[in-house]
Structure 1
Amino acid sequence: MNRALRRVAPVALATAAAALLLAGCAGGDPEASPSTPAAAECMDLSSGELSDGVKVEGDFGAAPTATFDTPLEAEELQRTVVTEGDGETTAAGDSVNAVVTVFSGASGDQLFSQPATITAGDTSVFEAFLAGVDCVPTGTRTVTVAPADSLYDGAGNENIGLAAGESVVIVVDVKEPLTASEWTEDVPEVKFGAEGEAPTVTLPDTEPPADYQLKVLEEGDGDVVAAGDTVTLNYQGTSWDTGEVFDQSYGGDPAQFSTDQVIQGFGAALVGQKVGTKLIVTIPPEYAYGTDAEAAELGGQTLVFLVEILDTAPAA
């Protein structure tokens, strides 16, 4: 298992669609193909006493706090728009850049808060998570109250500390699409070894970049990676904070996964690139494993990935 790219929750919503948001991984058919409606139809959602009663505080795009009467026991899905943005409205098929924070309805405790990429209208994702990004302008914060039977077949999820039969409160911040700027200063030195050998990435002795930046080392001439594509590649991940390589595919088989099933900064770096491209990208915590160092093994760390794109194919 590729540690950086296929962690189980709650260490990463790098695999948000597969590990936490995807219904097929919690009692549904794990072989079922995702389905996204062609028409941008909106879900039938309305607010209610429970969702309106949740008080949400905190900066947009960061882990918020939510205050509500406990135990909260929901019987139906309710969604309240806390703050309405003024950007483009999400539609079915969009890869939505979001921060998802989940609270236990029984205790009010935060279960996790992580960046995530959610494909709007993807019927393989639990409705409770789709509701947060459904037909809302970018810049919107929503709060969704979901009954226990709407998630994980009511059995809970021990990975995030959700007990069977618990309702949840989900706060979602819908952010602007993630785009890397060109990386021109303090770019690590990269040396590729012989075939089958791992490359060497030497980080400069500087503070980690605050911004999401990317440098194309060698541009390929193959097919262009589209959002949601299944990409085959080699990669090496280094923590700027520790200087250590924490995961890589070199020395084994190439990795293969969908662009929307990895950490936001990694998936976004692939979209729009051509097969054959070699690139290096620096990913701040807010686009990796989150800013909370206690919430994930790589939480709060700036990550650097060296990537070689070998192939790409449309999602099934």
Structure 2
Amino acid sequence: MLIRPGLATLVVATLVLPALVLSGCAARPLTLGPPSPTPSEGPVCAAAGEASDAVEVSGDLGNSPVIAAAGPFSVDRVERTVLIEGAGDPVGEGDLVEVAITIVNATTGEQAPGTAAARVLLEEGAVQPGLLATILCSTPGSRVVGVVPAEEAFGSAGQPELAIGPDDDLVFVVDVLAHVPTQAEGDPIALPDGFPDLGLEFDPDGRPTVTIPAVDPPGELLSATLIEGTGTVVGAGDEFLVQFQGVNWRTGDVFDETWGDAPRSLLELLPGVDAALVGLAVGSRLVVIVPPADGYGAAGSPSSGIAGTDTVVYVVDVLATTPPPA
């Protein structure tokens, strides 16, 4: 399985920043703002403030913006100003969103290297509290500015790769491009005649339950579409964002899954599954029965309890796809 490093793990690990004007900067220690809400409290939208209102941004949504601001900023909470108002329902905790993020060091005016287009899971622990508070409550198509105390960003450690020192405030300019569903969305399709009965059931979040029948597994690769999506078609070599569950036919045990954690952006999952995904539209749900030759091979996967003779079953929801770089 190959995973392409994404923004959500480091939050903003590699960003290319555009032109910036930031005047009168000086270092200053900061105090912690109000704590981020827990999921049970529901999202609390961060309010605008003098610092966030002072940030001026130009350029098209989704492209590297030009940012001008009179700083340094002195904030003890996240300040959030909406520069472009999108449409539709605001995003909330637990949502997956596609964003373009620009970071400015609000203390020094330095800009971090790299441009980040990423998919971010809006959950505590998945992103920094300050970035979470900046994005929450935005509608798709919005551009928002968040001015964030250091304690809700990189804190006393800083982030040298992004030219962020200890206790530096940050400015996030975030283009909220789209809400990404976290499970398949489309028309259901009946299993073809003769396909093994796996007792498939799905909870409201899309998490499957697979019941392995008391028969020998088929000796060949079998796949069937359970939901037919209408989005972009997955091509060979694409990076794909998926929810999945893997079940060992021999034991009936789940050995790997994303449900209950977070969708994963992958370049490879398993040869038999990868082949079945090509040509499938985003929004689709697929079940694949993978014999050893198309799966883990004679070596198996001891750490997952998979022997070299084991057949595995994957249920996969295709949430997004990204072609390889030209």
> The TM-score by the shorter chain falls in which range?
0.5 to 0.7
Amino acid at match of 1:214: V
Partner of 1:148: 150
Partner of 1:163: 165
8 Å Cα contact 1:140/1:173 also seen in 2: yes
8 Å Cα contact 1:147/1:166 also seen in 2: yes
Shift of 1:148: 1.7
TM-score (norm 2): 0.51
Given the superposition, is the C-alpha separation of residues 214 and 107 from structure 1 closer, same or farther in structure 2, using an over 3 Å criterion? Answer: same
Paired with 1:149 and 1:221, the residues of 2 have a C-alpha distance of 36
Partner of 1:118: 120
Pairs within 5 Å for 1:1-316: 5-6=4-5, 14=6, 16-20=7-11, 37=39, 41-111=42-112, 112-177=114-179, 213-215=233-235, 229=262, 235=268, 272-276=284-288, 283=322, 301-302=325-326
**Does the residue aligned with 2:8 lie in a helix, a strand or coil?**
helix
Shift of 1:140: 1.2
What CA deviation, in whole Å up to 9, does each residue of 1:171-200 have, x standing for no partner?
111112459xxxxxxxxxxxxxxxxxxxxx
8 Å Cα contact 2:90/2:140 also seen in 1: yes
Paired with 1:135 and 1:168, the residues of 2 have a C-alpha distance of 20
Given the superposition, is the C-alpha separation of residues 232 and 84 from structure 1 closer, same or farther in structure 2, using an over 3 Å criterion? Answer: closer
Give 5+ residue unaligned stretches, structure 1.
Answer: 7-13, 23-34, 180-210, 237-248, 255-268, 289-300, 303-316
Partner of 1:203: none
Question: Percent same amino acid among aligned pairs?
Answer: 25
Shift of 1:95: 0.5
Amino acid at match of 1:92: E
Paired with 1:232 and 1:124, the residues of 2 have a C-alpha distance of 14
Shift of 1:100: 1.2
Paired with 2:267 and 2:100, the residues of 1 have a C-alpha distance of 27
8 Å Cα contact 1:68/1:108 also seen in 2: no
8 Å Cα contact 1:100/1:114 also seen in 2: yes
Shift of 1:126: 1.5
**Does the residue aligned with 1:68 lie in a helix, a strand or coil?**
strand
Paired with 2:111 and 2:105, the residues of 1 have a C-alpha distance of 6
Partner of 1:310: none
Q: Across the two proteins, how many residue pairs are aligned to each other? A: 204
Paired with 1:232 and 1:109, the residues of 2 have a C-alpha distance of 30
RMSD: 4.3
Paired with 2:146 and 2:90, the residues of 1 have a C-alpha distance of 18
Given the superposition, is the C-alpha separation of residues 164 and 231 from structure 1 closer, same or farther in structure 2, using an over 3 Å criterion? Answer: closer
Paired with 1:282 and 1:84, the residues of 2 have a C-alpha distance of 26
8 Å Cα contact 2:59/2:65 also seen in 1: yes
**Does the residue aligned with 2:168 lie in a helix, a strand or coil?**
coil
| Larger mean Cα displacement after TM superposition, 107-116 or 145-154 | 107-116
Given the superposition, is the C-alpha separation of residues 272 and 160 from structure 1 closer, same or farther in structure 2, using an over 3 Å criterion? Answer: farther
Given the superposition, is the C-alpha separation of residues 154 and 232 from structure 1 closer, same or farther in structure 2, using an over 3 Å criterion? Answer: closer
What CA deviation, in whole Å up to 9, does each residue of 1:178-237 have, x standing for no partner?
59xxxxxxxxxxxxxxxxxxxxxxxxxxxxxxx9642499xx99899769546697729x
Amino acid at match of 1:173: D
Shift of 1:20: 2.6
Shift of 1:273: 3.8
8 Å Cα contact 2:4/2:266 also seen in 1: no
Shift of 1:124: 4.2
Paired with 2:49 and 2:169, the residues of 1 have a C-alpha distance of 15
What CA deviation, in whole Å up to 9, does each residue of 1:21-68 have, x standing for no partner?
69xxxxxxxxxxxx97256x2225111111000001111011212111
Paired with 1:99 and 1:118, the residues of 2 have a C-alpha distance of 10
